[in-house]
Structure 1
Amino acid sequence: MELTSSITQIVSHLEKIQSFNVQNPLDDTRKYLETMSLQLSGKKESVAMIEELNVSMGGHQIPVRIYRPKGKDVQKSSAIIYIHGGWFIAGGFETHDAVVRKLANKTGSAVIFPDYRLAPEHPFPAGLNDCIDIVKWASEHAENLGIDRDQIGIIGDSAGGALATSVSTQVGELLKFQILIYPAADNQLNTKSWEMYETGPVLNKDGGIQAWKWYHPEGESKPDPLAVPILIKDFKSTPPTLVLIAEHDALRDEGELLTQQMKEAGVSVQTSFYKDMVHGFMHMGETLNEVQKATDEMAAFANQYLKTAEK
């Protein structure tokens, strides 16, 4: 494994991160992701507005942020549902704030960002159900939200890519496109790329095994395809999809296999391979030019399928 000087610098920085006042391994994982995102994302772009609300669903509340892009004055704008990563057990508004701001501004779409329930407190299918419910809610309440219900897409990174993939098989008819950023797809962790990158950079196999056990406790004996997307046979309703793959990523092979299975099922899929990149590179805008390149690529793909007003 040969890493570029920029990636080597980032990996060295990651090794020095110490989570503050850690209570247990789960708390450490959550705080580590927050710290990594804060330190490596770089300066956050300003957006026109961020709205925060709670959506009542099935006896609980789903916190949601809506990011309105800078420089747009559109009553019925296009919208993107963003599903964050974090191994199903970590992540939220603050960890992905910089990424979502960039995407809102570049796509010209309102970005709807649900803070779905996390494992192990809420194992599968809680988080997935929250994401499905928010897509339905956005469509049903589009007029009040100031969005066009016929111009909605979905983006998910890492574990969020797994969730987005499953969401699309359930309510894909409501979505114009899908983008998966280095998606998690398989709970077996037995691919060649997992063998190569078992101890990093960024991810490690022991942490992945524990995360999957927390998220999908029945996954070893009775895996559910909606939890483990590599097992999905019917990609019904899945919209045109772009998959971003990172070269030095333990999830590389399962992401490529998921892409191949979608193609074989008749889904229109494009793959973009990010040479030299590691898992989570979208959080590393302070150092990596590839973050802007990926944002530009995702916006171009989204705008093939969304009608966005000119600035």
Structure 2
Amino acid sequence: MPRLSEMVPPPVTRGLLRAVFGLPNPIKRLIAGRPVRLDGQQLDLDARLLLLMTRLEGGRLGAPTVEEARRGLQRGQTYLNRVPERAVGRRDVDAGGVPARLYTPEGLPEGSPLLVFYHGGGWVIGDLDTHDTVCRYLAVHADVRVLSVAYRLAPEHPYPAAAEDAVSAYEWAVANARDLDADRRAVAVGGDSAGGNLAAVVGVLAERRPAFALLFYPATDMTVRRRSRELFGEGFYLTDDDMTWFSDHYCPDVERRADPAVSPLLAGDLSGFPPTYLVTAGFDPLRDEGEAFARRLEEAGVPVAPRRQDDLIHGFVNMWSLGGRFQEALSEAAGALRTGLYAVPRRPRKPS
């Protein structure tokens, strides 16, 4: 049976979302039900409301088939298509054989910093379009160019394809920074979830260290089930079953899951990792492994700013257009990225 959202035109669904999330908080509390408190944290009201709507819709990240899962994420993002007011130019780029898209905010001078971004989706779903508004937001609010990378997806291309593409696209961006009107000394990597994993892999493996790493709730260890996966593995958007589904598609060879290019937390030496802003969500099965990676960076002497948005859920960067805490959290990350990259010594800008 088709979902309700498949039968309703996207503009109608977008209007409904705006209306619901624009309601006064007392009414939203009546709709969302009782507060959710777990592990000393209280779930944000808008996150509760979104989870309720997701449950009524019957959607989940994983699906009986890969094609259904990909369509589901793509459809969901068409409802969250708000963009920043500042215009952003886009053009397709061949990043050394890896398809990519370059975002340039209007008026940004040549020689700007550059973020190489990897989208989330469990290495199986997601694409340039599902994270278009995220890349626009980061470009505008961090005042940087963003190169979004369309790495190969599993199960058609299982590990190590995505990791290889991630490293290749980053190294191409550094080598061709001038052609991108960017400064090769200020090239960062970033991504969310599986994309955060790939950004971390680049930080571990790339010969030339990135200038900065922006990691949103990254998957960092495919070998261990941590406490957060038990606490938040059902009912908080990303589920335990979803994680198993993604892992089995991406790296079906269980013996290889301990490779640092799958589980960067297990890398032997992290002392060369770039300065990092790593943010987790309190109600996220991936929370504990992301925070374990931040601790390992600290122990290795890497400058790292760990941040837990303790009232939010996995995937909050894609939800920024709903406003509230979702947008606040992404704004904070954009500020950290801007600070981290503009503090890097760079070549002088050309006059406008």
Cα separation, 1, equivalents of 2:188 and 2:96: 22
Number of residues paired by the alignment?
Answer: 303
Distance change >3 Å, CA 8–CA 130, structure 1 → 2: same
Match of 1:67 in 2: 103
Q: CA deviation at 1:42?
A: 4.8
Match of 1:134 in 2: 169
Match of 2:83 in 1: 44
SS of the aligned residue for 1:250 comes to coil
Match of 1:187 in 2: 222
Cα separation, 1, equivalents of 2:145 and 2:275: 20
Cα separation, 1, equivalents of 2:96 and 2:335: 34
Match of 1:284 in 2: 319
Distance change >3 Å, CA 123–CA 270, structure 1 → 2: same
Task: Give the 5 Å matches for 1:44-193.
Answer: 44-45=83-84, 47-57=87-97, 62-72=98-108, 74-171=109-206, 173-188=208-223, 190-193=225-228
Distance change >3 Å, CA 98–CA 189, structure 1 → 2: farther
Q: CA deviation at 1:292?
A: 2.9
Match of 2:65 in 1: 25
The answer to which of 48-57 and 217-226 deviates more is 217-226
Match of 2:45 in 1: 5
Give ranges in structure 2 of 5+ residues lacking alignment: 1-35, 38-42, 344-348
Task: Tell me the amino acid that sits aligned with residue 252 of structure 1.
Answer: R
SS of the aligned residue for 2:258 comes to coil
Question: Out of 281, 286, 294, which is 1:246 matched to?
Answer: 281
Task: Tell me the amino acid that sits aligned with residue 98 of structure 1.
Answer: T
Structure 1 length normalisation: TM-score?
0.90
> In 1, are the aligned partners of 2:320 and 2:330 still within 8 Å (CA)?
no
Distance change >3 Å, CA 23–CA 85, structure 1 → 2: closer
Structure 2 length normalisation: TM-score?
0.80
Match of 2:18 in 1: none
Percent of aligned pairs with the same residue?
A: 30
Match of 1:293 in 2: 328
Match of 2:74 in 1: 34
The answer to which of 173-182 and 93-102 deviates more is 173-182
Q: CA deviation at 1:238?
A: 0.9
Task: Tell me the amino acid that sits aligned with residue 160 of structure 2.
Answer: P
Task: Tell me the amino acid that sits aligned with residue 54 of structure 1.
Answer: D
Q: CA deviation at 1:172?
A: 6.3
Task: Tell me the amino acid that sits aligned with residue 247 of structure 1.
Answer: G
Cα separation, 2, equivalents of 1:96 and 1:144: 24
Task: Tell me the amino acid that sits aligned with residue 116 of structure 2.
Answer: I
Match of 2:308 in 1: 273
Q: CA deviation at 1:257?
A: 0.9
